[in-house]
Homo-oligomer: A and B are copies of this chain.
Amino acid sequence: MPIGNKVEYEDASPEVRAVYDDIMETRKLRWIADFWKVIAQDPATLKRTWEGMKQTMGPGEIAPMIKELIFVSVSVTNGCEYCTVAHTATARARVATPEILAEAFAVMGMASETNALVTAWQVELDERLREAARGG
């Protein structure tokens, strides 16, 4: 089966269909994003990845909309256009306003800049900072 091609619902095996059904039910949607249709060529990866997404992206200590912003941050930093667009769309569906997105984007920009400055200027990690990060 060609890499990059999509497995449509009507052509899917029962195993793949069960994942598609769970995605649509969990997300309250009537369609499946292309990402899932493409990786459905490898049903084991489809199932494992969807279960990981379901486990990590749902409600918890952090609200789902905030989780989408974290997902977008990683995707922007990796330069993954599809993921950036897909999870910005999901963030919007979870009611991220343009103002929220703009603030999050500004933080991503500042973080990227200071990451580069830290490496360039050879800032060393001191133990006190590590202790503060670890808590106890």
CB within 8 Å of B: which residues of A? 1-5, 33-35, 38-39, 41-42, 44-45, 48-49, 51-53, 55-57, 60-62, 66-67, 69-89, 92-93, 97-126, 129-130, 132-136
A80 CB contacts on chain B under 8 angstroms: 79, 115, 118-119
Residue of A2, A120, A136 with most chain B CB atoms under a 10 A cut-off? A120
A109 CB contacts on chain B under 8 angstroms: 45, 49, 56, 113-114, 116-117, 120
Quick one: copies of this chain in the complex?
A: 6
Q: A3 contacts B74, CB within 8 Å?
A: no
- CB of A4 to closest CB in B, whole Å: 4
Q: A88 contacts B42, CB within 8 Å?
A: no
A56 CB contacts on chain B under 8 angstroms: 45, 103, 106-107, 109-110
Q: A33 contacts B129, CB within 8 Å?
A: yes
- CB of A53 to closest CB in B, whole Å: 6
Q: A129 contacts B85, CB within 8 Å?
A: yes
26 A-B pairs with CB atoms under 8 Å apart are A4-B122, A4-B133, A4-B134, A34-B123, A34-B126, A35-B114, A45-B106, A56-B109, A57-B110, A60-B103, A67-B107, A70-B70, A74-B74, A74-B115, A78-B115, A79-B119, A82-B118, A83-B115, A83-B118, A84-B119, A86-B133, A87-B111, A92-B135, A105-B117, A122-B130, A122-B134
